[in-house]
C-alpha cells in the first residue's frame, strides 16, 4: 500500500508541478465554487459570515495544515482537518464589522499538505457604513435545550438625514421568528428593536442562520443579521460510535449503547438494521430515563464497513444516531 500511495503522490505532483506557477496554485482548484465573497455594504457592528466549500479533487489524502487571516477583524475555521479523495468540507469565515470602517478586503490563507504544500487565498470584502449600527452585532443564543424557546433583542440605530425605515423582517425557511418595532425617532436619529425567537422545534446541532431586515434605503435595501445557537437534544446516546476493529467474516459480536433522556421514554425501534446488524434483544416495554439497546453484529462481506442506525423514541425528537464501523478480513 505504501508503494501505491507514493506512486499516486508522484503522479499527483507531476500533474501540478509542470511549472512554478501551477505548483503554487493547485490548492485553488479545491475551491470549485470560488475563493471570493463580497458582503457588500453592512451596518457598523454587524457580524458577517460566509461558508466556502473545499473539495479534495486529488487521488491522495489531503490535510488542512494551517488557516491564517491577514487581519484581526476576520477569523476562519475548517469543519474537518483531513480530507479523503473526493471528500468535501467547509471553511467558515467570520468578519467583524465593529473593527473597521469603510471598505475592507482581507485575505485568508488556507494551506493544505502536509507532504507537498500549497496555499489557497480566500478573499472577503465588506463595506462598514457608520450611519447604521447593530448592537449587539448578531443574535447569539448560546446553548439551548431542544424543545425550549429562546428570545433575544438587538438594537438597530440610524444616524443621518434620510427618513430611514425598516419595513419588513424576513425569516422564512428558518427555525426562527422575528418582529420589529420603532423605539424612537428624532431629528437625525432613528432607533428600532428587532426581536428574534428560536422556535421550540429547532433541530439539534449547531445553528447558523440569517434573518434579513428590509429597509426603504434604495442603496442598501436588505441588511442581514447573523443568528447562532447550539441546540442541545434532551436525549443522548453513549457511545455514538461503535468501532468493531478487524473481525472475521460471520464472526458474531454483541455491542450495547445506552440512551439517556431528561424524562422517561420508550425506544420504539431502530432504522437501518440489516446487512449483518440486528437487534440483540427487544427494547424494554416500560418507560425509563435510561434505556439499553443491544446490537448483534455478524458481517459477511469482506472489507471496510460503516453503518448508521437511527434509534427512534416516543419523545417526538429526531432519531438518535449510532454508527457501527470496522473491517472484515479472513
Mean pLDDT of 206-214: 95
Looking at residue 23, its pLDDT comes to: 46
The three cell numbers locating residue 140: 447569539
| Full set of structural domains in the chain with CATH | 2-130 (2.60.40.10), 138-232 (2.60.40.10), 235-328 (2.60.40.10)
Q: E strands along 13-138, which residues? A: 36-44, 47-55, 62-69, 74-78, 82-83, 88-96, 102-113, 118-135
**pLDDT over 90 (residue 108):** yes
Q: Is 160 in contact with 184 (CB distance < 8 Å)?
A: no
Q: What percent of the chain has pLDDT over 90?
A: 68
pLDDT at 245: 85
The rounded distance, in Å, linking the Cα atoms of 215 and 167 is 5
**Residue 299 pLDDT > 80, yes or no?**
yes
Largest CA distance in the chain: 82
Contacts of 24 (CB under 8 A, 6+ apart): 118, 119
Q: What is the pLDDT of residue 316?
A: 67
Report the predicted TM-score, pTM, of the whole model to 2 decimal places: 0.69
In this model, does residue 184 exceed pLDDT 50? yes
Output the pLDDT for position 16.
Answer: 46
Question: Residue with C-alpha cell 470549485?
Answer: 32
Predicted pLDDT of residue 10: 45
Which residues have CB under 8 Å from 52's CB, separation 6+?
A: 31, 33, 34, 35, 37, 90, 91, 92, 93, 122
Cell representation of residue 116: 507537498
**Which residues, in sequence order, are CB contacts of 4 under 8 Å at separation 6+?**
none
| C-alpha to C-alpha distance for 103 and 110, rounded to whole angstroms | 23
Q: What is the total residue count of the chain?
A: 330
Amino acid at each position: 500500500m505504501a508503494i501505491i500511495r507514493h506512486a499516486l503522490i508522484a503522479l499527483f505532483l507531476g500533474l501540478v508541478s509542470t511549472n512554478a506557477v501551477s505548483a503554487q496554485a493547485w490548492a485553488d482548484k479545491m475551491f470549485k465554487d470560488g475563493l471570493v465573497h463580497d458582503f457588500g455594504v453592512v451596518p457598523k457592528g454587524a457580524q458577517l459570515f460566509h461558508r466556502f466549500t473545499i473539495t479534495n479533487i486529488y487521488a491522495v489524502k489531503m490535510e488542512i495544515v494551517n488557516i491564517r487571516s491577514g487581519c484581526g477583524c476576520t477569523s476562519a475555521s475548517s469543519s474537518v482537518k483531513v480530507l479523503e479523495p473526493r471528500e468535501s468540507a467547509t471553511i467558515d469565515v467570520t468578519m467583524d464589522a465593529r473593527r473597521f470602517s469603510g471598505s475592507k478586503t482581507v485575505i485568508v490563507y488556507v494551506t493544505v499538505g502536509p507532504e507537498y504544500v500549497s496555499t489557497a487565498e480566500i478573499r472577503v470584502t465588506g463595506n462598514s457604513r457608520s450611519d447604521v449600527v447593530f448592537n449587539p452585532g448578531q443574535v447569539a443564543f448560546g446553548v439551548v435545550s431542544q424543545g425550549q424557546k429562546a428570545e433575544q433583542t438587538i438594537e438597530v440605530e440610524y444616524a443621518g438625514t434620510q427618513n430611514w425605515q425598516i419595513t419588513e423582517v424576513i425569516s422564512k425557511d428558518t427555525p426562527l421568528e422575528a418582529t420589529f418595532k420603532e423605539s424612537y425617532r428624532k431629528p437625525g436619529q432613528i432607533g428600532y428593536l428587532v426581536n428574534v425567537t428560536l422556535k421550540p422545534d429547532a433541530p439539534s446541532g449547531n445553528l447558523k442562520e440569517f434573518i434579513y431586515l428590509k429597509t426603504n434605503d434604495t442603496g442598501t435595501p436588505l441588511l442581514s443579521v447573523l443568528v447562532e445557537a447550539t441546540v442541545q437534544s434532551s436525549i443522548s446516546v453513549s457511545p455514538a460510535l461503535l468501532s468493531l476493529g478487524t473481525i472475521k467474516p460471520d464472526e458474531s459480536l454483541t455491542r450495547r449503547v445506552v440512551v439517556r433522556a431528561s424524562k422517561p421514554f420508550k425506544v420504539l425501534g431502530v432504522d437501518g438494521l440489516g446487512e449483518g446488524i440486528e437487534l440483540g434483544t427487544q427494547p424494554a416495554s416500560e418507560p425509563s430515563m435510561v434505556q439499553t439497546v443491544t446490537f448483534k453484529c455478524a458481517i459477511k462481506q469482506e472489507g471496510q464497513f460503516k453503518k448508521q442506525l437511527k434509534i427512534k423514541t416516543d419523545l417526538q425528537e429526531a432519531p438518535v444516531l449510532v454508527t457501527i464501523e470496522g473491517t472484515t478480513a479472513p
